[in-house]
């Protein structure tokens, strides 16, 4: 395994159509047309993006138990820059060169301003050294998302096929098919078919 | 009341009667044989004992009534002693209770909950099962149930799931109905 450094591309792009970045039984991430995007490169290979525009995150942080369902769906507008690592190739065809007006719509005067924001997010995600790449996202279905929350902390979502892990402020949700874990200020639930441990406050 | 309790009460009454007779006998023996004024103390004692025993009997009867809970599942004897009445709970949000009870107060919504008891359902599945409810009415009922916290809708797949409070509320409604059915049968 060789650890390498993620770098930002120099050019800012925009999406030419709305795009679903993730769709599983429990989670959905989508971005609107016109969302700004800058590629994350690892050894000159595009490995992900930092986006900024309009989009949404939907996550059913709900656990089904024999006694009933616990938890609630989460719906978040994605109006701050967020990072995605995963299969970038399928996105390339939906990207186009950005114009000044596209940048202005999102609140930037020029590309440099957006790139600074993107770099800041990458630094916070990976640490100053940004030595995170290890080629672990080989499968097209694997992806990592880092969303900035209202407290400017990062909420992280990791998805791989039916498996999904979401860690946000005060919430941890893990789903792997029928097996689920939910940890929130009010609940602690570990559930698998015919077995469930629940603690509610 | 069970036969065993009836026997107990019968025995108690017999004992009271026996004590009354004994007291009467004692009074007759102690009554002065000659002329003069006398106070019939034993008669007063007898009344007192009679009253006391009557009080004991009533107490026993009341206690038995309080200790026996007759429900749909049969007769249950409370062994942990007399139950104290619950203090009014100031923490109960009565508005919320009303919302939940109101959400339960429709046959269609109870049918929906009954359907969800066996697992999550998509709207079209519910529509298929509950064909007597129109699509718009079904949607409106689901909103009421969701606002009351009795069901939750998945936002990705769109299935409706019954929540823990929903399941508890539905079971409670069913239990109350059983009680009423039993009373009607009696």
Pairing of strands A36-42, A179-183: unpaired
Instruction: Show which residues on chain A lie within 8 Å of chain B, measured between beta carbons.
Output: 23-28, 58-60, 62, 64-65, 67-73, 75
Give the pLDDT of residue A62. Answer: 94
Digit-coded pLDDT (tens) for A67-118: 899 999 999 999 999 999 987 778 888 999 999 999 999 999 999 999 999 9
Whole-angstrom Cα distance, residue B131 to residue B6?
53
- Kindly report the nearest CA distance between residue A103 and chain B, in angstroms: 31
Q: Mean of the pLDDT values across residues A33-49? A: 90
Q: Locate tokens 């619950």: which residue?
A: B86
Q: Are A114 and A38 in contact, with CB atoms under 8 Å apart?
A: yes
Contact (CB<8Å) A23/B156 = yes
| Domain ranges (residues) in chain B | 3-77, 94-185
Highest mean pLDDT: which of A115-119, B2-6, B16-20, B68-72? A115-119
pLDDT-derived band at B37 (thresholds 50, 70, 90) equals very low
Across the range A139-146, mean pLDDT stands at 80
- Asked if A25 and B156 come within 8 Å (Cβ–Cβ), the reply is yes
3-state secondary structure string across chain B: CCHHHHHHHHHHHHHHHHHHHHHHHHHHHHCCCCCCCCCCHHHHHHHHHHHHHHHHHHHHHHHHHHHEEEECCEEEECCCCCCCCCCCCCCCCHHHHHHHHHHHCCHHHHHHHHHHCCCCECHHHHHHHCCCCCHHHHHHHHHHHHHCCCEEECCCCCCEEEEHHHHHHHHHHHHHHHHHHHHHHC
Nearest CB to B156; choose among A58, A67, A68: A58
Dig out the tokens for B163 from the structure: 């929540």
Per-chain mean pLDDT for chain A: 87
Instruction: Return the CATH architecture of domain B94-185.
Output: Orthogonal Bundle (1.10)
The predicted structure's pLDDT at residue B38:
47
More confident residue, B59 or A126: A126
Average pLDDT over residues B84-110: 87
In chain A, the residue whose alpha carbon lies closest to the alpha carbon of B154 is A60
Please state which of the ranges A41-55, A127-141, A155-169 shows the lowest mean pLDDT.
Answer: A127-141
**Distance between CA atoms of residues B101 and B157, nearest Å:** 28
What's the rounded mean pLDDT across residues B107-135? 95
Q: Which of A115, A135, A139, A129 is nearest to A49 (CA)?
A: A115
Q: Do A70 and B164 touch (CB under 8 A)?
A: yes
Residue B96 has pLDDT above 50, yes or no: yes
Query: Global pTM?
Result: 0.71
Q: Which residues of B touch A (CB under 8 A)?
A: 120, 152-157, 161-168
Is A69–B153 a contact, with Cβ atoms under 8 angstroms apart?
no
The reported pLDDT for the residue numbered B36 is 45
Sorted by where each begins, the domain ranges of chain A are 6-61+73-160
At A187 the pLDDT is 81
Of A194 and B59, more confident: A194
pLDDT (mean) for A118-122: 92
pLDDT band of B85, cuts 50, 70, 90: low
Q: What is the DSSP pairing of strand A163-168 with strand A36-42?
A: unpaired
pLDDT at B61 over 70: no
More confident residue, A96 or B40: A96
Residues on chain B touching A62 (C-beta within 8 angstroms): 152, 154, 161
Name the residue facing A75 among B152, B155, B163 (closest C-beta): B155
pLDDT of A162 reads 82
Of the candidates B153, B155, B161, the beta carbon closest to that of A64 is on B161
Tell me: pLDDT of A180 over 60. yes
In this prediction, residue A145 has a pLDDT band, given cuts at 50, 70 and 90, of very high
């Amino acid at each position: 395994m060789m650890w390498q450094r993620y770098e930002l591309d120099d050019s800012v792009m925009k999406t030419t159509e709305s795009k679903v970045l993730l769709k599983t039984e429990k989670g959905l991430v989508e971005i609107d047309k016109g969302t700004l995007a800058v590629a994350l490169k690892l050894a000159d290979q595009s490995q992900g993006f930092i986006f900024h525009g309009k989009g949404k995150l939907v996550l059913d942080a709900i656990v089904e138990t024999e006694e009933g369902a616990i938890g609630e769906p989460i719906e978040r507008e994605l109006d701050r820059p967020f990072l995605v690592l995963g299969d970038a190739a399928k996105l390339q065809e939906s990207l186009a060169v950005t114009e000044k007006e596209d940048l202005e719509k999102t609140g930037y005067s020029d590309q440099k301003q957006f790139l600074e924001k993107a770099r800041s997010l990458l630094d916070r995600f990976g640490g100053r050294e940004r030595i995170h790449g290890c080629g672990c996202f080989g499968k097209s279905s694997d992806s990592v998302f880092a969303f900035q929350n209202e407290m400017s902390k990062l909420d992280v979502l990791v998805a791989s096929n039916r498996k999904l892990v979401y860690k946000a402020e005060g919430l941890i949700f893990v789903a792997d098919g029928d097996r689920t874990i939910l940890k929130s200020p009010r609940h602690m639930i570990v559930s698998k078919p015919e077995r469930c441990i629940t603690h509610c406050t | 009341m069970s036969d065993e309790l009836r026997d107990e009460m019968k025995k108690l009454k017999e004992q009271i009667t026996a004590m009354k007779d004994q007291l009467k006998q004692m009074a007759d023996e102690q009554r002065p044989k000659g002329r003069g004024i006398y106070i019939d103390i034993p008669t007063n004692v007898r009344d007192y004992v009679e009253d006391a025993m009557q009080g004991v009997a009533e107490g026993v009867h009341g206690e038995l009534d309080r200790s026996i809970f007759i429900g749909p599942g049969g007769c249950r004897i409370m062994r942990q002693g007399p139950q104290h009445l619950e203090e009014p709970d100031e923490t109960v949000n009565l508005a919320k209770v009303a919302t939940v009870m109101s959400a339960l107060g429709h046959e269609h919504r109870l049918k929906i909950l009954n359907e969800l008891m066996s697992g999550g359902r998509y709207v079209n599945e519910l529509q298929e099962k509950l064909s007597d409810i129109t699509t718009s009415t079904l949607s409106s009922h689901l909103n009421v149930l969701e606002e009351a916290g009795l069901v939750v809708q998945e936002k990705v797949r769109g299935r409706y799931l019954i929540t823990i409070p929903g399941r508890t509320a539905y079971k409670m409604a069913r239990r109350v109905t059983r009680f009423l059915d039993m009373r009607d049968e009696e």
